[in-house]
A = this chain, B = another copy of it.
């Protein structure tokens, strides 16, 4: 995953059901090609394999349930994510929080399979806790700003700086991403200025009238 990166989480927005998932993934791919910047897409779980076959930019899973191939129904294993063609995954997103022990277990399992891990966190303390377990990235997203109109970089730049500083001290190999409320070129610029390696965003792109326009603007900020 090249840096800085724009990670687009499609969530379960009705705007990206079925074929519309593919449309948006293709737009992300176009913007990546046109601008040379690094874009990653996280499609709905049921579209993961299909999207990974259809686009050339990295595809990440929004979630995972289990490390190995232990027999379950309706759950998703790391092996399935890998076999589906994904290059990485989100762990512990605000909307699917995980147990501490499971986060550690999944980070280790993902590493064994060569999958890149982005662990989401909600404040400085949980960011530190996430970082010392050794994921590739920590994406700090204050829950009260997720889905809103003000970027964390404007609403609370201090929390981003504190997170970057704390993680540098405790786990220097782990990179920080900025999440929550990211919508504009300026938000991306500030995220990078504050010492993070990119942004994780959702509604700003998925719910935009013209997602391509938004993505082009975000890419300019990188």
The residues of A with any CB-CB pair to B shorter than 8 Å are 9, 11-14, 17-21, 42, 44-50, 53, 61-63, 66, 69-77, 79-86, 90, 92-104, 108, 121-123, 125-126, 128-130, 132-134, 147, 170, 202-203
Chain B residues with CB under 8 A of A72: 11-12, 95-96
A75 adjacent to B12 (CB under 8 Å): yes
Q: A71-B13, A132-B128 are in contact. Are A99 and B101 (CB under 8 A)?
A: no
A14 adjacent to B129 (CB under 8 Å): no
Chain B residues with CB under 8 A of A125: 104, 108, 132-134
Q: Which of A46, A83, A104 has the most CB of B within 10 A?
A: A46
Q: Given B20, B74, B83, B86, which contacts A95 in the complex, CB threshold below 8 Å?
A: B74
A96 adjacent to B81 (CB under 8 Å): no
Q: A45-B45, A71-B13 are in contact. Are A18 and B126 (CB under 8 A)?
A: no
The majority secondary structure among interface residues of chain A is mixed
Q: Nearest chain-B residue to A9 (Cβ)? A: B73
A14 CB → nearest B CB, Å = 3
A18 adjacent to B80 (CB under 8 Å): yes
Complex A-B: 11 CB contacts under 8 Å: A12-B69, A12-B80, A20-B83, A21-B49, A44-B76, A46-B80, A49-B50, A50-B50, A61-B74, A92-B100, A101-B121
Once the chains are docked, how many angstroms separate the CA of A70 from the CA of B12?
Answer: 7
A21 CB → nearest B CB, Å = 8
B76 adjacent to A46 (CB under 8 Å): yes
A43 CB → nearest B CB, Å = 9
Once the chains are docked, how many angstroms separate the CA of A104 from the CA of B128?
Answer: 11
Q: A47-B49, A49-B18, A125-B132 are in contact. Are A11 and B73 (CB under 8 A)?
A: yes
B75 adjacent to A96 (CB under 8 Å): yes
The 8 closest A-B pairs by CB, nearest first: A63-B74, A18-B83, A14-B69, A17-B83, A129-B129, A46-B48, A74-B96, A73-B95
